[in-house]
Structure 1
């Protein structure tokens, strides 16, 4: 085990598996902008007009433009990769259920909570949730390989 002085040199936001606890939670808030949606469309090559064309989207079940579901899910990835467990985390799996649309201008709260820890295999199961106000827009779970001080 490394001493405390060396632990201070871990990348900001990293919580090694040795320090994780059941119930530990981290989150971020982000307003989803038209620019975010346009950039995501460009990177993903998903140019579905429900995301990009006001006139088209008005005539859908959503009655207006919505953000890509995976853009919202990407906020979960940001919490995992930057905060819990943080830098050095490796995604092993993710399940998602999309509950409601996210629209341009919505502020999304992306939250990740430690549900299970398998210290022997360095695996952590995380409950994942995104909300806009009081509405859950996405829920699921992620399985990650957590960073460890033993493998620095």
Structure 2
């Protein structure tokens, strides 16, 4: 059986997950690619003075995990990632294992659109990022 599903085979309630442990190298690579060298992410001395008591990962790293999950959720083909709503709920610390669960919550057949609820949790089950995504799938 193939892992590729057509639009019509995808069902509301389908879930896809992807997880990753966030390492220090991920934070520095993200800072280098984006130019976001906020001390909260790259300066332990400055970050230790904040409410988080140390460095935290960029919020958009959790969005990157969502992107990977959405690619998996599309089950092949040539999907287009159209939109993503994000709410950052809790910090991601270096060493946290975060997991995104994308649940198909709506299909718009006349436009070939799929709407997903996207939730990223840490290893303790705390929601760190919550949102909604839309993809176009043929």
TM-score by length of 2: 0.93
Give the whole-Å Cα distance in 2 for the aligned partners of 1:51 and 1:17: 40
Query: Contact 1:15 / 1:84 at 8 angstroms: preserved in 2?
Result: no
CA positional deviation for 1:118: 0.9
Give the whole-Å Cα distance in 2 for the aligned partners of 1:101 and 1:79: 20
What's the counterpart of residue 75 of structure 1?
65
Work out which of the two has the higher radius of gyration on C-alpha atoms and give 1 or 2. 1
1:26 paired to 2:16? yes
What's the counterpart of residue 119 of structure 1?
109
What's the counterpart of residue 49 of structure 1?
39
Aligned residues: CA RMSD: 1.4
What's the counterpart of residue 26 of structure 2?
36
TM-score by length of 1: 0.85
Runs (4+) of structure 1 exceeding 4 A deviation are: none
Query: Contact 1:79 / 1:86 at 8 angstroms: preserved in 2?
Result: no
Number of equivalenced pairs: 136
Give the whole-Å Cα distance in 2 for the aligned partners of 1:15 and 1:56: 48
- Matches for 1:129-144 after TM superposition, within 5 Å: 129-132=119-122, 133-144=124-135
Give the whole-Å Cα distance in 2 for the aligned partners of 1:89 and 1:65: 35
Query: Contact 1:80 / 1:89 at 8 angstroms: preserved in 2?
Result: no
Q: Deviations over 1:120-146 (max 9, x none)?
A: 211010000000122000100001101
CA positional deviation for 1:14: 4.1
Query: Contact 1:14 / 1:84 at 8 angstroms: preserved in 2?
Result: no
Q: Which ranges of structure 1 fall in alignment gaps of 5 or more residues?
A: none
2:56 to 38, 63, 66: 66
Q: Which ranges of structure 2 fall in alignment gaps of 5 or more residues?
A: none
